[in-house]
Chains A and B, each alone.
Chain A
Amino acid sequence: MRRLLLLLLTLWFTTNLLAVDATLKIEKDVEQRARIALVDGSAQHHEKFFDILLSDLKISGHFLADSQLYRGGFSDSFIDPKLKSRDYLLKYNLLSGNGTKLYIRLLRASDGTELYKKSYSIPNSAKIPFVAHKAISDINAYLKYPDISWINRYVVFTRYTAAKTSEIILADYTFTYQKPIIRGGLNLFPKWADADQRTLYYTSYKGTLPTLYKIDIYTGSKSRIISSEGMLVCSDVSRDYRKILLTMAPHGHADIYEMDLSTGSKKKVTNFNGIDVSGKYVDDERNIVFVSNRLGYANVFRKGVDTPGVAPVVYHGRNNNACDAHDNRVVYSSRESSSSFGRNTFNLYLTSSRGGDTRPLTTTGSNQFPRFSSDGSVVLYIKQSGRGSAIGYINLASSQSLLFPVSINKIQSIDW
């Protein structure tokens, strides 16, 4: 009885001490962030634009932004006395009509000194979200905070529209901007093919065999890369964009191959009479992590590109069927309920390619399709919960997270 009491007390203290640690971390982060208020000097207030600016400031992890909108003159340096306790004011003037123009001024809140100003112009008003993202990433860069240029990147995803029919869509990270770029038939697994996001790989099911194409999203020109019976996916691209990891199944079971794009030669990286999918480069591209059912259930494993040994990366959960990697970090989705049918709980975890330093990133709902940002600082994911679907972002350094509700039929795959 005494031992049980001791155990309970230990558990109680451990739980509470951990809780205190978490609280202290958040307090510290709050102190480090710059307090900023947005002042709209536009003739007509654009509520969605304000919301996007606010989201950008929040997900950066570097600003503590007022959620309240302030209106005021754009050109003057008047500072409302109640805003003088902030570090900065961001004044902006959004002009819509023949295209969109945005003017911004960053002022020191204490004395109204202008620190930075810039203007932006785009012919296509649908791309307004990208103007907001660019403005905030520029201010962030001016203040010499760690880079957040990932907010300027396109997210590309596939959504099903009917049986054997899908669309590949471009979006900004908030999903406010969305534009289908490939329609007709079944086109899947888009993957960016260059650093500037001009080209992407995708799998077309138009012929008898799945075929991988590379398409220029600005000209529409496309080239055939390879075809394979069964299935074909480009799951990762090397940092120099000269090699790709493919999931192919020429013999009826999915294995991972590395393809040299300059020579067209292929190397079989995994060899298992079951399921090996989702290969991702790790450890300076000497190794890959991938999902396999070689232990009887889906789990994340690591293997050398040129060496035979395979080792598990994850040691918990009975279904870890999606992962992504950046350098030597791995994010994966783990099923944590056992309903064969219906909505299960899937949570995201961050770990290393060696399986150490594992920590949970989510705690509720169904969280899937984890993807690192290009710099590895943020994780994107799709969350399903009782309140619907949302696209989520977790800033790994600041622990800031954001959810944007989306009303999209089932998402098939995503990249950014």
Chain B
Amino acid sequence: MMKKIYISTIALLMFSGCAQNTPDAGGNIADANTLTSDTVTLDENNMFEDGSGMNYNSSSDGFASVYFDFDGYTIAPSMEKRMRHNATKAQSAGSRQVKLEGNCDEFGTDEYNYALGLKRAKAVKDALADQGVDTSNVVMVSFGESSPVCSETTDACYAQNRRVDLRLVR
């Protein structure tokens, strides 16, 4: 008797589920297919188009931010154009100090992330030296994960935070 009740109950639940879902599901899926993804917002003040596909920039004083791979601190070939641009800018800065600010995405822990940001700043400093810049006026500081420019949970957003910003010391 109990077995029959169980079977009847399960059958009822299965059929009732099907009956509710069928009419709505078709309509919702059709509606969803007509939606397009969200549009972008470009800020021309914070762009640096160099053909690398990474057009963002959070540096100031005419410098261009340099971006890094996850957990990496070597300058990628796609960033070389930015580095040539930065070297020219640094050379024209004269006696003014140039500050390199190393930054990280949020994946990491306290001290290690700050050290990683600093290694990125050091990589940029070394690249400037390789291009003939006198780096005696270059200072480095790491902000770890404390200075994100983007807070969305997307790969593109995290990539914007793994960077070195350059600016003149005020």
Give me the interface of A with B, judged by CB distance under 8 Å.
160, 163-166, 186, 188-189, 205, 208-210, 229-231, 233, 235, 247, 249, 252-254, 274-278, 291, 298, 321-322, 333, 340-342, 344, 368-369, 410, 412-413
Q: Judging by beta carbons under 8 Å apart, are B118 and A342 in contact?
A: no
Known A-B contacts A208-B99, A274-B119; A291 and B143 likewise in contact (beta carbons under 8 Å):
no
Known A-B contacts A163-B147, A164-B147; A342 and B109 likewise in contact (beta carbons under 8 Å):
no
Residues of A within 8 A of B126 (CB): 252
Minimum CB distance partner of A275 in chain B: B115
Residues of A within 8 A of B146 (CB): 160, 163-166, 186, 188, 412
State how many angstroms separate the Cβ of B96 from the closest Cβ of chain A.
13
Instruction: Kindly state the separation between the CA atoms of A210 and B102 in the bound complex, as whole angstroms.
Output: 13
Q: Judging by beta carbons under 8 Å apart, are B112 and A322 in contact?
A: yes
B169 at interface (Cβ–Cβ under 8 A)?
yes
Which of A160, A163, A233, A342 lies in contact with B111, CB distance below 8 A? A233
Q: Judging by beta carbons under 8 Å apart, are B122 and A252 in contact?
A: yes
B82-126: CB near A (< 8 Å → 1, else 0) gives: 000000000000000101000000111111101111110110011
Q: Judging by beta carbons under 8 Å apart, are A230 and B140 in contact?
A: yes
Q: Judging by beta carbons under 8 Å apart, are B70 and A341 in contact?
A: yes
Residues of B within 8 A of A233 (CB): 111, 114
How many inter-chain contacts with C-beta < 8 Å in the A-B complex? Answer: 109
Known A-B contacts A189-B110, A340-B70; A229 and B115 likewise in contact (beta carbons under 8 Å):
no
Instruction: Kindly state the separation between the CA atoms of A253 and B147 in the bound complex, as whole angstroms.
Output: 20
B141 at interface (Cβ–Cβ under 8 A)?
yes
B142 at interface (Cβ–Cβ under 8 A)?
yes
Residues of B within 8 A of A166 (CB): 146
Which among A230, A291, A322, A413 has the greatest number of chain B C-beta atoms within 10 A?
A: A230
Instruction: Kindly state the separation between the CA atoms of A230 and B144 in the bound complex, as whole angstroms.
Output: 10
Q: Judging by beta carbons under 8 Å apart, are A275 and B109 in contact?
A: no
Q: Judging by beta carbons under 8 Å apart, are A369 and B107 in contact?
A: no
Residues of A within 8 A of B147 (CB): 163-164
B43 at interface (Cβ–Cβ under 8 A)?
no
Instruction: Kindly state the separation between the CA atoms of A209 and B169 in the bound complex, as whole angstroms.
Output: 11
Q: Judging by beta carbons under 8 Å apart, are A321 and B108 in contact?
A: yes
Q: Judging by beta carbons under 8 Å apart, are A252 and B148 in contact?
A: no
Instruction: Kindly state the separation between the CA atoms of A275 and B139 in the bound complex, as whole angstroms.
Output: 19
State how many angstroms separate the Cβ of A270 from the closest Cβ of chain B.
12
Instruction: Kindly state the separation between the CA atoms of A247 and B155 in the bound complex, as whole angstroms.
Output: 30
Q: Judging by beta carbons under 8 Å apart, are A163 and B148 in contact?
A: yes
How many residues belonging to B are interface residues under a CB distance threshold of 8 Å?
A: 36
Besides A231-B115, A275-B119, A341-B158, 10 other CB < 8 A contacts?
A: A163-B147, A186-B143, A188-B146, A208-B97, A229-B141, A230-B140, A252-B125, A254-B114, A322-B112, A410-B145
Instruction: Kindly state the separation between the CA atoms of A342 and B139 in the bound complex, as whole angstroms.
Output: 33
State how many angstroms separate the Cβ of B98 from the closest Cβ of chain A.
12
State how many angstroms separate the Cβ of B11 from the closest Cβ of chain A.
34
Q: Judging by beta carbons under 8 Å apart, are B110 and A369 in contact?
A: yes
Which of A163, A164, A341, A412 lies in contact with B110, CB distance below 8 A? A412
Residues of B within 8 A of A230 (CB): 118, 121-122, 140-142
Q: Judging by beta carbons under 8 Å apart, are B106 and A342 in contact?
A: no
Minimum CB distance partner of A322 in chain B: B109
Instruction: Kindly state the separation between the CA atoms of A16 and B72 in the bound complex, as whole angstroms.
Output: 43
Q: Judging by beta carbons under 8 Å apart, are A210 and B112 in contact?
A: no
Q: Judging by beta carbons under 8 Å apart, are A275 and B121 in contact?
A: no
Q: Judging by beta carbons under 8 Å apart, are B107 and A208 in contact?
A: no
Q: Judging by beta carbons under 8 Å apart, are B169 and A208 in contact?
A: yes
Q: Judging by beta carbons under 8 Å apart, are B115 and A277 in contact?
A: yes
Q: Judging by beta carbons under 8 Å apart, are A235 and B111 in contact?
A: yes
Instruction: Kindly state the separation between the CA atoms of A275 and B110 in the bound complex, as whole angstroms.
Output: 13
Q: Judging by beta carbons under 8 Å apart, are A341 and B118 in contact?
A: no
Question: What are 21 A-to-B residue pairs whose CB atoms are below 8 Å?
Answer: A163-B149, A164-B146, A186-B146, A188-B110, A189-B110, A208-B97, A209-B139, A229-B140, A247-B115, A249-B118, A252-B126, A253-B115, A276-B115, A278-B112, A291-B112, A340-B71, A342-B153, A368-B109, A412-B110, A412-B144, A413-B111
State how many angstroms separate the Cβ of B136 from the closest Cβ of chain A.
12
Residues of B within 8 A of A164 (CB): 143, 146-147
Residues of B within 8 A of A368 (CB): 109
Instruction: Kindly state the separation between the CA atoms of A278 and B112 in the bound complex, as whole angstroms.
Output: 8
Q: Judging by beta carbons under 8 Å apart, are A278 and B158 in contact?
A: no
Instruction: Kindly state the separation between the CA atoms of A274 and B73 in the bound complex, as whole angstroms.
Output: 10
Instruction: Kindly state the separation between the CA atoms of A170 and B82 in the bound complex, as whole angstroms.
Output: 44
Q: Judging by beta carbons under 8 Å apart, are A210 and B70 in contact?
A: no
Instruction: Kindly state the separation between the CA atoms of A340 and B114 in the bound complex, as whole angstroms.
Output: 18
